[in-house]
């Protein structure tokens, strides 16, 4: 192979490919993703039901799709304690080999979301903290979702700062100050997705100004947040190359360099390489 034309595969670190949006054509979605140069896809769970579906998908695409488990903040409601107990039991069974492969690679997606409502604020805080402890217990990284809750999130995380194995602040869309607050946490990276390509986004200026490429991983958040030029349609993992190119342009490096550097970050945080 001509070394100059060598193209390094990239990783979509956050895609809900278990969703019913992909029920009819997941095989095509995976095929297009491979063709586009995506070497692996990581699937976050939102609850117990999605965890089961994700394990199925990751079994069908073993070695390509990798599962996480966790209770999404918007799924935290009364009764969440029992869900967490069951989820934790399954997580430990999975990691110990008592249940078949594939193995969970992260705790997620977990976090806080006060965008729509603070109705279950106390429950969300407790559920998040409990799952932060799972991450410390299992040494699996956290896949963190945070909307309109950065102060509360940092308050909880900072109590465990020295024990945390690392993770991703997924779908980062904040400003420089918010980015720097996250980067205080060693072995944590920012998950950058389709929003970075939106015309209205300030990420193309803010990220190169204060976030080294060594602290970024690529993601789609499929089926949401489709990047330009696919805005408004169902997002899929193949489109992560548009995020890769956007980062290459705003950091003034080649797409190849973005691939190599973000892959190194994925390896550091998740212990997984393409």
* CB-CB contact of 255 with 261 (8 Å): no
Count of residues touching Zn ion (by CB under 5 A):
1
Between CA 156 and CA 173 the distance in angstroms is 20
Based on C-alpha coordinates, what's the Rg of the chain?
Answer: 18
> What is the closest distance, in whole angstroms, from the C-beta atom of residue 257 to Zn ion in the complex?
27
* CB-CB contact of 269 with 187 (8 Å): yes
- Strands 10-12 and 65-69, by their bridges, are unpaired
Between CA 74 and CA 63 the distance in angstroms is 29
> What is the closest distance, in whole angstroms, from the C-beta atom of residue 230 to Zn ion in the complex?
17
Token pair 């209205």 in the structure block, residue: 200
Q: Choose the stretch contacting Zn ion; rule: CB under 5 A; options: 119-127, 201-209, 214-222, 257-265.
A: 214-222
* CB-CB contact of 100 with 126 (8 Å): no
| 18/221 with CB nearer Zn ion | 221
Token pair 């100004």 in the structure block, residue: 209
Q: Choose the stretch contacting Zn ion; rule: CB under 5 A; options: 17-25, 205-213, 220-228, 254-262.
A: 220-228
| 152/221 with CB nearer Zn ion | 221
Residues 118-157 that bind Zn ion (CB under 5 A): none
| 206/221 with CB nearer Zn ion | 221
Residues 221-250 that bind Zn ion (CB under 5 A): 221
- Strands 142-147 and 38-43, by their bridges, are unpaired
Between CA 121 and CA 124 the distance in angstroms is 5
> What is the closest distance, in whole angstroms, from the C-beta atom of residue 209 to Zn ion in the complex?
26
| 222/251 with CB nearer Zn ion | 222
Residues 40-99 that bind Zn ion (CB under 5 A): none
> What is the closest distance, in whole angstroms, from the C-beta atom of residue 224 to Zn ion in the complex?
7
> What is the closest distance, in whole angstroms, from the C-beta atom of residue 222 to Zn ion in the complex?
9
Q: Choose the stretch contacting Zn ion; rule: CB under 5 A; options: 121-129, 201-209, 216-224, 259-267.
A: 216-224
Token pair 């991450």 in the structure block, residue: 135
Residues 157-186 that bind Zn ion (CB under 5 A): none
* CB-CB contact of 187 with 166 (8 Å): yes
| 54/259 with CB nearer Zn ion | 54
Q: Which two tokens stand for residue 47?
A: 């609850």
| 8/173 with CB nearer Zn ion | 173
| 216/255 with CB nearer Zn ion | 216
Burial class (CB in 10 A: 0-12, 13-18, 19+), 224: middle
> What is the closest distance, in whole angstroms, from the C-beta atom of residue 14 to Zn ion in the complex?
6
> What is the closest distance, in whole angstroms, from the C-beta atom of residue 171 to Zn ion in the complex?
7
Binding site for Zn ion (CB under 5 A): 221
């Amino acid at each position: 192979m001509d070394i100059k034309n060598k193209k390094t595969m990239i990783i979509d670190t956050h895609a809900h490919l278990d969703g019913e949006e992909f029920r009819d054509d997941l095989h095509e979605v995976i095929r297009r993703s491979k063709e586009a140069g995506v070497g692996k896809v990581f699937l976050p769970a939102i609850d117990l039901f999605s965890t089961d579906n994700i394990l199925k998908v990751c079994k069908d695409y073993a070695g390509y799709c990798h599962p996480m488990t966790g209770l999404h903040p918007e799924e935290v409601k009364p009764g969440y304690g029992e869900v967490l107990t069951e989820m934790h039991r399954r997580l430990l069974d999975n990691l110990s080999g008592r249940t078949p492969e594939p193995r969970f690679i992260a705790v997620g997606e977990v976090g806080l979301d006060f965008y729509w409502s603070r109705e279950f604020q106390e429950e969300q805080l407790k559920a998040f903290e409990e799952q932060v402890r799972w991450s410390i217990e299992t040494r699996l990284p956290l896949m963190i979702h945070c909307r309109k809750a950065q102060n509360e999130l940092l308050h909880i995380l900072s109590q465990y700062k020295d024990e945390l194995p690392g993770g991703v602040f997924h779908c980062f869309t904040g400003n420089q100050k918010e980015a720097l607050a996250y980067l205080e946490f060693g072995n944590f990276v920012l998950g950058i997705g389709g929003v970075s390509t939106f015309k209205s986004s300030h990420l193309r200026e803010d990220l190169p100004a204060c976030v080294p490429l060594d602290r970024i991983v690529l993601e789609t958040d499929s089926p949401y947040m489709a990047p330009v030029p696919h805005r408004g349609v169902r997002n899929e993992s193949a489109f992560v190359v548009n995020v890769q190119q956007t980062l290459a342009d705003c950091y003034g490096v080649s797409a190849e360099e973005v691939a190599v550097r973000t892959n190194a970050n994925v390896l550091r945080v998740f212990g997984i390489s393409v």
